[in-house]
Structure 1
Amino acid sequence: MGNSQGMDYSDNQVTLYTSQSQVVVDQLRQSGRHVVDAAFIKEKYGETAHVFLQAYSWYRQHASKIVERPRDADSAIWTFLNAKYLDYSADSRLIKLRVPIEKIVFFRMSDWNRILNLRLLGTEEEQVKYSDKLKRYNVDYEGDVYTTAFYPHLKTELVCSWQKLFQYDDEIKATKQLPFEDIQGGIWEIQHSWVESLLEWKI
């Protein structure tokens, strides 16, 4: 496990950072709240959206068991405890939030990236063993296990491994310590009252 470090926590709230468009900032000011619509994901990822939507759908189903999902929230909003992990774009605004800890689902960014790419989530040894199985079945692209119906047993193993995404959530909420630097937080909404400030990008 990585070097444990404290997070910015006080009064049951955690400091998080998120990158959002000016449209989202305006919506927060006008309505006091922002949630993600599935149409946004389709627009963001274009032709590859169907692959990402499958991963997002899995996350929505399982993360909602940890933090209840509002009905109008089609997907999570990604936040980080360290602003350096945020993606910069010309239209984006860097938002600093103070969010109640019980509203956050904690996980590693590197783990989520494996799920986004429809890959096994496990130790290095588990990944090597799974890779060997794929070779025995002549599977060249790991994502085919999930997107086709040809490998049901391999798909079961793959999807079961994704549950490890949430393995640090309870520990972080109990200890207020981050076991790895690349911890991010999924939240279902941004409430205007959670916005502490709009920051300038340092690039």
Structure 2
Amino acid sequence: MEGKVVRLYTRQNDKTLYQLKRDGRIINQRVYVEMHFGDIAPLFMESYDWFTKEAAKIVPKPEDVHAPIWCSISVENCLKPIEGTVVYELEVPEERVIYFDEAKWDYVLNRIYLPKDAKDGERYKKYLKDIGVVNGFEFFQGRYKGMYPEEEERIMDSWQRVFEIDNWTIFNVCGNLWEIRQEWVKRIVYPGEKL
């Protein structure tokens, strides 16, 4: 039995309408994420793959799904529908939602250390200076790649904090889903319509 239901909003390519009609659900494929990012996709895919693996530990992932679907927890912070897109207004069982802090996601995307707090961030900057590292962005790509495997591990361990929400607001909290089921869709908003 499923418990509390939450409202989520997500802007998607309008081609998903066909998938929803044909399959009764929308799922994300890794190739869609790659197409979305274009030329810069290789830089981001390792972060997305990490997120997918870790999020699947929170909410089990269906076998045929390769990437989560990003959702807003509020209509105010949802991207509005533009040409070639629609917005799905959803009511989803809360246990199906993977909540995370989007501000912290930038650390994962940039493949840098995600500090616990400001004090931890200052300690980490001092630590980098002490070991002679000028730029914390270069452990995975750049001059330090492969030189500090223990540091790469420390950085990746810190990314778990993306799932820790310290300040719950509509601007930093997102809710990801593995799928959008037909029965969760309460409204489809087209370009020009009020969200």
TM above 0.5, yes or no, is yes
Q: CA separation of 1:161/1:42 partners in 2, compared to 1, >3 Å: closer, same or farther? A: same
- Aligned partner of 1:156: which letter? E
Of residues 96-105 and 126-135 in structure 1, the stretch that sits farther from structure 2 once superposed is 126-135
Query: Pairwise CA RMSD of aligned residues?
Result: 2.4
Aligned to 2:174, the other structure's residue is in SS state strand
The aligned counterpart of 1:157 is 154
Displacement after TM superposition at 1:140 (Å): 4.7
The aligned counterpart of 1:132 is 126
TM-score by length of structure 2 reads 0.84
**Aligned 8 A contact 1:77 1:186 in 2:** yes
The aligned counterpart of 1:197 is 187
Question: Aligned partners of 2:135 and 2:77: how far apart in 1?
Answer: 28
Question: Aligned partners of 1:202 and 1:112: how far apart in 2?
Answer: 29
- Specify every segment of 5 or more residues in structure 1 that has no aligned partner in the other structure, as ranges: 1-9, 172-177
Q: CA separation of 1:139/1:86 partners in 2, compared to 1, >3 Å: closer, same or farther? A: farther
Q: Does 1:104 align with 2:93?
A: no
The aligned counterpart of 1:4 is none
Paired-residue identity, %? 26
- Specify every segment of 5 or more residues in structure 2 that has no aligned partner in the other structure, as ranges: none
1:146 is aligned, of 140, 150, 154, to 140
Question: Aligned partners of 1:137 and 1:85: how far apart in 2?
Answer: 41
- Aligned partner of 2:36: which letter? K
TM-score by length of structure 1 reads 0.81
Question: Aligned partners of 1:132 and 1:90: how far apart in 2?
Answer: 48
The number of aligned residues is 186
**Aligned 8 A contact 2:3 2:94 in 1:** no
**Aligned 8 A contact 1:108 1:180 in 2:** no
1:61 is aligned, of 53, 75, 78, to 53
Of residues 59-68 and 40-49 in structure 1, the stretch that sits farther from structure 2 once superposed is 40-49
Q: Does 1:91 align with 2:88?
A: no
Aligned to 2:88, the other structure's residue is in SS state strand
The aligned counterpart of 1:19 is 11
Aligned to 1:78, the other structure's residue is in SS state coil
